[in-house]
């Protein structure tokens, strides 16, 4: 099923004088902006460096079932525009329940709540330290003093405390690992005020069949040119010139939706250069470096895990060994096949991404599964490991709340340049950055801003999530 007209026009009449637009990047933000503008009468061309649509959304079928290798979840699915869009297309949502979760180790099974109860000393100390760190940083900011406290600054001394029982330190390591996974960065990069992984809680859902269904819907009717990376953008009061591998493109406006890593590493050049304040803001926003969330997805000949549970956890053997495939989720109810997905995060994820072969990654993941379900794990029939950090067109998973950054940096990044260059993507959002719905909202906001500027009209919202 496809959605209908996304036009922002108060009427359906199109003005021939509307400026031409080049959208750089065919991910969620770029396609949403392009579709809204195209359906509103703007001549739109989309260029994409990859040989596929979606960017950091990638629904893969190589395991014999659809699996999202990039963005997977709809966070806060009970109040999320992506849920509305899925309903409009008839895409079912599989709720990943916040049921009681269990830690598995050498045939022993412990309820997560029981482990937390037993680790009360560590949780109490960590709660005091984290709360104190947040209050201290906020006080210093009110006093006009700069402080840059990371999650690691506060929590690592506790994780190394030998007076704490081993279980307490392992449970705290699991909590820190969850933060490193949801935020997509090691603890020393995460600002203390944003350490708590909110997206891990609440109502979360997976679109059955994958996000590609939404990507394909957004791309309907668009002029999209794949395998055409842009290396240089020149702009002045007359318009925009984009230098691509296939030649020059001349347009009135450009919407730039490339991942932040491309801008941070200067893979896309501007003439004249972006101003120093914007460059500094982009550099402060967390993205890439050693920040990445890695996924491993395995297909097995049969299900060996309990059928009545979705999530399976393994306590890190030690705080230093956290982030190595300790959280697993069954995708059987989503993909209709015996699939398990696990996550690696923090420095472990960056090391696997850059330095390990697929065989080494698979062995590390299977070792954890064998620790959880000893003697029960058959050899997988197929396997995928994501490498977003090594991907030259991503250079990371998603943006995160870096030490020293602030929402003002994201606002500065999103600000248009001379009403010729516009920026969109999850990294431009001050709320829910790092999510697919942040990318959607940024694309919509950018399209509406262009529409207001060049038509003088207030947009009417007809998109399928409205």
pLDDT in tens, the chain (466 residues): 788 899 999 875 555 689 999 999 999 999 999 999 999 999 999 999 999 999 999 999 999 999 999 999 999 999 999 999 999 999 999 998 766 688 888 888 888 889 889 999 999 999 999 999 999 998 988 888 888 899 999 999 999 999 999 999 999 999 999 999 999 999 999 999 999 877 767 789 999 999 999 999 999 999 999 999 999 999 999 999 999 999 999 999 999 999 999 999 999 999 999 999 999 999 999 999 999 999 999 999 999 999 988 999 999 999 999 999 999 999 998 999 999 999 999 999 999 999 999 999 999 999 999 999 999 999 999 999 999 999 999 999 999 999 999 999 999 999 999 999 999 999 999 999 999 999 999 999 999 999 999 999 999 999 999 9
Strands 269-271, 230-236: parallel, antiparallel or unpaired by DSSP? Answer: parallel
Q: What is the CATH number of the domain that holds 108?
A: 3.90.660.10
Asked which of 356, 385, 414 is the last residue of a domain, the reply is 385
Shared-domain flag, residues 434 and 415: yes
In a domain, 460, yes or no: no
Report the pLDDT value the prediction gives residue 15, as an integer from 0 to 100: 59
How many domains, the chain? 2
Boundary-marking domain end, from 385, 419, 437: 385
**Residue 212 domain flag:** yes
Sign of CA dihedral 428, 432, 436, 441: negative
Residue 197 phi/psi, 5° resolution? -80, 80
Same domain membership, residue 216 and residue 195: no
| CA angle (48 as vertex; 47, 50 as ends), nearest 5 | 155
The answer to whether residues 196 and 297 belong to one domain is yes
Question: Is 186 among the domain residues?
Answer: yes
71 within a domain of the structure (yes/no): no
Q: Which residues contact 182 (CB under 8 A, 6 or more apart)?
A: 197, 198, 199, 200
Position 390 in a domain = no
| One domain, residues 414 and 446 | yes
Q: Cα angle vertex 403, ends 402, 408, to 5°? A: 70
Q: Tell whether 190 and 216 lie within a shared domain.
A: no
Torsion, Cα of 100, 104, 110, 113 (10° steps): -40
Largest CA distance in the chain: 73
**CB within 8 Å of 257: residues ≥ 6 apart:** 23, 24, 25, 27, 29, 30, 33, 55, 423, 424, 425, 443
**Claim to verify: residue 197 and residue 312 sit in the same structural domain:** yes
Q: State whether 298 and 381 are in the same domain.
A: yes
Number of C-beta neighbours around residue 181 at 10 A: 24
Is residue 234 a contact partner of residue 243, using CB atoms and an 8 Å limit? yes
Tokens 């340049």 map to which residue? 417
The pLDDT, as a whole number, for residue 101 is 82
Structural domain of 115: 99-201+293-385
User: Torsions phi, psi of 443, nearest 5?
Assistant: -65, -40
124 DSSP β-pair partners: none
Q: Is residue 365 domain-resident?
A: yes
* Same domain membership, residue 192 and residue 139: yes
The Cα–Cα gap between 197 and 400 comes to 11
Same domain? 181 vs 310: yes
CB 365 within 8 A of CB 384: no
Q: In 212-313, which residue ranges form alpha helices assigned H by DSSP? A: 212-218, 260-264, 276-284
406 class by beta-carbon count within 10 Å (0-12 exposed, 13-18 middle, 19+ buried):
middle
290: number of CA atoms within 13 Å, CB side? 12
Which helix (H) or strand (E) is 174 found in, with range?
helix 166-183
Q: Which of 337, 375, 311, 361 is nearest to 112 (CA)?
A: 311
Q: Are residues 131 and 146 in the same domain?
A: yes
What pLDDT was estimated at residue 54? 98
Q: Which two tokens stand for residue 177?
A: 């690992």
Q: Residue 461 corresponds to which tokens in the numbers above? A: 């919202």
Q: Whole-prediction pTM value?
A: 0.96
Q: Would 463 be classed as within a structural domain?
A: no
CATH number of the domain to which 49 belongs? 3.50.50.60
Residues 284 and 297 in one domain: no
Can you give the pLDDT at residue 12? 59
Burial class (CB in 10 A: 0-12, 13-18, 19+), 258: buried
pLDDT of residue 387: 97
252 is a domain residue: yes
**192 neighbors 130 (Cβ within 8 angstroms):** yes
The answer to whether the beta carbons of residues 356 and 89 sit under 8 Å apart is: no
Residues 6 or more apart whose CB falls under 8 angstroms from that of 193 comprise 134, 137, 138, 401
β-bridge partners, 242: 233, 249
Do β-strands 74-75 and 204-207 pair in parallel, antiparallel, or remain unpaired?
antiparallel
From 385, 414, 433, the end of a domain falls on 385
257 and 343 assigned to the same domain: no
Q: Which of 170, 172, 138, 168 is closest to 155 using CA atoms?
A: 172
């Amino acid at each position: 099923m496809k959605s209908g007209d996304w036009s922002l026009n108060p009427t359906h009449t199109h003005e021939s004088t509307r400026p031409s637009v080049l959208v750089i990047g065919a991910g969620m933000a770029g396609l949403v902006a392009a579709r809204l503008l195209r359906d509103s009468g703007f001549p739109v061309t989309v260029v994409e460096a990859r040989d596929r649509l979606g960017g950091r959304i990638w629904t893969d079928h190589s395991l014999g079932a659809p699996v999202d290798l990039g963005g997977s979840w709809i966070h806060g699915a009970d109040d999320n525009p992506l849920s509305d869009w899925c309903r409009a297309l008839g895409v079912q949502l599989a709720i990943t329940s916040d049921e009681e979760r269990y830690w598995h180790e050498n045939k022993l099974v412990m309820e997560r709540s029981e482990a937390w109860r037993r680790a009360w000393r560590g949780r109490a100390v960590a709660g005091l330290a984290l709360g104190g760190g947040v209050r201290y940083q906020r006080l210093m900011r009110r006093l006009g003093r700069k402080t840059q406290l990371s999650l690691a600054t506060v929590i690592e001394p506790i994780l190394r405390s030998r007076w704490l029982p081993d279980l307490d330190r392992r449970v705290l390591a699991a909590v820190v690992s969850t933060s490193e996974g949801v935020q997509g960065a090691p603890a020393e990069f995460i600002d203390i005020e944003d350490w708590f992984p909110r997206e891990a809680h609440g109502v979360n859902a997976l679109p059955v069949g994958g996000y590609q269904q939404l990507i394909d819907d957004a791309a309907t009717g668009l002029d999209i040119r794949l395998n055409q990376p842009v290396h240089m953008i020149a702009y002045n009061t007359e318009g925009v010139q984009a230098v691509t591998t296939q030649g020059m493109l001349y347009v009135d406006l450009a919407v730039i939706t490339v991942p932040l890593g491309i801008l941070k590493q200067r893979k896309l050049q501007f003439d004249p250069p972006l101003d120093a304040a914007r460059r500094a803001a982009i550099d402060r926003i967390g993205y890439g470096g050693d920040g990445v969330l890695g996924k491993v997805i395995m297909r097995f000949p049969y299900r060996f895990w309990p059928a009545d549970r979705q999530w399976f956890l393994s306590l890190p053997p030690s705080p230093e060994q956290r982030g190595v495939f300790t959280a697993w989720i069954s995708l059987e109810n989503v993909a209709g096949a015996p699939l398990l997905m696990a996550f690696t995060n923090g420095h472990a994820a960056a090391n696997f991404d850059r330095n390990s072969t697929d065989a080494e990654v698979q062995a590390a993941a299977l070792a954890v599964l064998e620790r959880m379900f000893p003697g029960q794990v058959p050899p997988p029939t197929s396997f995928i490991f994501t490498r977003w950090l090594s991907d030259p067109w991503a250079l990371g998973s998603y943006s995160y709340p870096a030490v020293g950054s602030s929402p003002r940096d994201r606002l500065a990044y999103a600000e248009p340049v001379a009403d010729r260059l516009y920026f969109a993507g999850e990294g431009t959002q001050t709320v829910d950055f790092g999510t697919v719905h942040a990318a959607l909202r940024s694309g919509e906001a950018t399209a509406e801003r262009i529409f207001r500027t060049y038509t003088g009209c207030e947009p009417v919202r007809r998109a399928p999530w409205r």
